[in-house]
Amino acid sequence: MNCYIALSFCLIVSSACSKLRPSRPENDDNTPPSAFFTVTPDSGSVLVPYFLNASSSSDAEDELDELRIRWDWDGNGSWDTPLDTVKQITHRFTEAALYTVIMEVRDTGDLADTTQQMVSVSGNLLWKFDTPGMNMSSPAIGVNGTIYFGSGRYICALNPDGTLRWNYLTEGSVYSSPAVDDNGRIFVGSEDSYLYALDSDGTLFWKYQTGSQIESSPAIGADGTIYVCSDQLYSIDNTGSLKWSNPEGGGYSSPAIDADGSIYVHTGGMSSGELLAFSPDGAMKWSFSTNGGMTSPAIGTDGAIYVGSSNYYIYALEPDGTLRWEFKTATGMLSTSPAIGNDGSIYVGTVYGRIYALNPNGSLKWRFSGKTGVGAYTSSPAIGSDGTIYFYKGHHISAVSVDGELLWEYPIGHMIFWANRCSPTVTESGVIYIGGMDGFFYALQSNSSGLTQSAWPKFRCNPQNTGRRLP
């Protein structure tokens, strides 16, 4: 935010007289002016013209047209315009950020007053796509930048320019998030109980029927094995044949695969649950009681397993299943999956609209509530290359700085499910993709350049959504 902005001014009201008046001699009777301005709109996206009007500023001794004003667009203490009697101005912000705009008004006796306002400038909307159904699935990026996600009963594939590539109709809602393998094949579950494998052109490769509806997102092992939870935890080879299934691992959780091939799933419901570890052959290695379930684990660089629980706790476990630390959130059940920053910080959202940032040792770094506060759900966060945290919250896709300050937000429809799985991703060129609950899929330009370099920067770990930590 401290970079210099390419300013583009458009003077709405031309100055009738721009000559500088000599300062009035020191006069004990002079009083300072009063600074006031309005901004329209008070939030918007980059390159949108913001109209700023300081005409409500006043002074006891001088007329309005005698008062001179100047602006600091980025609140860095350095004035970006000269003192001028023009009170109305249009400004365009070129980078998404939360700006502190400062205005100074100065009277003819050289007494001054300043005032400031926050202006939220969001990422620029590149395009939005009218989806065929409700968007509860998080996008995966495949070859050539193709975007895959579930919408209603469809599996959708969009081109990077926002045009439809293909739709594939299943017999149930697709809440599961697609995963893309090294060959560009797409794997995704449906409430119709099938795990679908599609080629990149949208033709069915195979489908495998599980014993129940699938809300879990599949994970892809290093050897191409697909793991997904339904009535059981299933291990399916890349030709669609069952390798094994284990009833202990059934549920809604999306499996996380460690670098050694261990598979972690979180089972259970609102009041009881366990984090379970399976070896690649399907044997259970250990279990850890979390007294609540339904969320998906993330894995850190050193193999630590992070999971939030419906009992308000965030747990960090050692790879052998022993507790490293636990952190109790004050405000709510954990409905989302953690994401990890490049310094090892852990970010997780709660059902009461908050994002917790924890230090690697489990202490609180900060807590973000935002202006929508209690009652707004959050998605799993995605961490950009610059540390910015992106997540769905309430009505918006929100961007929060690494220090926990709101940078911008953009309306994409009101999130209505406490376990919404619609979490954003960030492309190498900084485009954020997310499905909105308003029936559109969005592409917004951010200042990030891809995801941060960490073990698990987003829901399902990487742009392909493999759910597998790399060694």
Q: Are 79 and 70 in contact (CB under 8 A)?
A: yes
Residue with tokens 């203490």: 77
Stretch that binds Ca ion, among 10-18, 21-29, 64-72, 446-454 (CB under 5 A): 64-72
Stretch that binds Ca ion, among 59-67, 146-154, 181-189, 442-450 (CB under 5 A): 59-67
Q: What is the rounded distance in angstroms from the CA atom of residue 407 to the CA atom of residue 117?
A: 14
Residue with tokens 């739709």: 167
Q: Which of 34, 138, 44, 30 is nearest to 91 (CA)?
A: 44
Q: Reduce the DSSP state of residue 431 to 3 states and report it.
A: strand
Find the binding residues for Ca ion in span 210-249 (CB under 5 A): none
Find the binding residues for Ca ion in span 94-133 (CB under 5 A): 107
- State the first-to-last Cα distance of the chain, in angstroms, to the nearest integer: 35
Tokens of 63: 């007329």
> Rounded to the nearest whole angstrom, what is the least distance from the CB of residue 12 to Ca ion in the complex?
21
Q: Are 310 and 270 in contact (CB under 8 A)?
A: yes
Our CB check for Ca ion shows the closer of 79 and 286 to be 79
Tokens of 355: 């994002």
Our CB check for Ca ion shows the closer of 106 and 469 to be 106
Our CB check for Ca ion shows the closer of 93 and 306 to be 93
How many other CB atoms are found less than 10 A from the CB of residue 25?
7
DSSP codes of every residue in 318-346: -TTS-EEEEEE-SS--B-S--EE-TTS-E
**Sequence-distant (≥ 6) Cβ neighbours of residue 186 within 8 angstroms:** 140, 142, 148, 155, 157, 178, 179, 180, 196, 197, 198, 199, 200
Specify the amino acid at residue 158: L
> Rounded to the nearest whole angstrom, what is the least distance from the CB of residue 73 to Ca ion in the complex?
6
Find the binding residues for Ca ion in span 68-87 (CB under 5 A): 72, 74, 76, 78, 80
Our CB check for Ca ion shows the closer of 72 and 274 to be 72
> Rounded to the nearest whole angstrom, what is the least distance from the CB of residue 269 to Ca ion in the complex?
53
> Rounded to the nearest whole angstrom, what is the least distance from the CB of residue 2 to Ca ion in the complex?
9
> Rounded to the nearest whole angstrom, what is the least distance from the CB of residue 219 to Ca ion in the complex?
47
Stretch that binds Ca ion, among 14-22, 27-35, 282-290, 349-357 (CB under 5 A): 27-35
Q: Are 32 and 19 in contact (CB under 8 A)?
A: no
Specify the amino acid at residue 15: S
**Sequence-distant (≥ 6) Cβ neighbours of residue 209 within 8 angstroms:** 193, 194
Tokens of 464: 């392909």
Our CB check for Ca ion shows the closer of 9 and 318 to be 9
Q: Which of 438, 419, 350 is nearest to 175 (CA)?
A: 419
How many other CB atoms are found less than 10 A from the CB of residue 80?
17
Q: Does 274 bind Ca ion (CB under 5 A)?
A: no
Site string for Ca ion, 330-369 (x = CB under 5 A): ----------------------------------------
Nearest residue to the partner Ca ion, using Cβ: 107
> Rounded to the nearest whole angstrom, what is the least distance from the CB of residue 404 to Ca ion in the complex?
23
Q: What is the rounded distance in angstroms from the CA atom of residue 104 to the CA atom of residue 230?
A: 62
Q: How many residues bind Ca ion (CB under 5 A)?
A: 9
Stretch that binds Ca ion, among 12-20, 52-60, 444-452, 456-464 (CB under 5 A): 52-60
> Rounded to the nearest whole angstrom, what is the least distance from the CB of residue 95 to Ca ion in the complex?
13
> Rounded to the nearest whole angstrom, what is the least distance from the CB of residue 298 to Ca ion in the complex?
39
Q: What is the rounded distance in angstroms from the CA atom of residue 192 to the CA atom of residue 211?
A: 10
Our CB check for Ca ion shows the closer of 75 and 404 to be 75
> Rounded to the nearest whole angstrom, what is the least distance from the CB of residue 77 to Ca ion in the complex?
7
Q: Does 59 bind Ca ion (CB under 5 A)?
A: yes
Find the binding residues for Ca ion in span 164-183 (CB under 5 A): none
Stretch that binds Ca ion, among 53-61, 171-179, 193-201, 321-329 (CB under 5 A): 53-61
Parallel/antiparallel/unpaired status of strands 323-328 and 313-317:
antiparallel
> Rounded to the nearest whole angstrom, what is the least distance from the CB of residue 437 to Ca ion in the complex?
37
How many other CB atoms are found less than 10 A from the CB of residue 180?
23
Our CB check for Ca ion shows the closer of 78 and 159 to be 78
Q: Does 30 bind Ca ion (CB under 5 A)?
A: yes
Our CB check for Ca ion shows the closer of 2 and 14 to be 2
> Rounded to the nearest whole angstrom, what is the least distance from the CB of residue 49 to Ca ion in the complex?
19
> Rounded to the nearest whole angstrom, what is the least distance from the CB of residue 62 to Ca ion in the complex?
6
Q: Are 289 and 274 in contact (CB under 8 A)?
A: yes
Distance from chain centroid for Cα 36: 34
Q: What is the rounded distance in angstroms from the CA atom of residue 256 to the CA atom of residue 197?
A: 19
Q: Reduce the DSSP state of residue 143 to 3 states and report it.
A: helix
Our CB check for Ca ion shows the closer of 107 and 274 to be 107
Our CB check for Ca ion shows the closer of 95 and 107 to be 107
Our CB check for Ca ion shows the closer of 35 and 228 to be 35
Our CB check for Ca ion shows the closer of 58 and 372 to be 58
Determine the number of helices (DSSP H) and then strands (DSSP E) in the chain: 0, 40
Interacting residues with Ca ion (CB under 5 A):
30, 59, 61, 72, 74, 76, 78, 80, 107
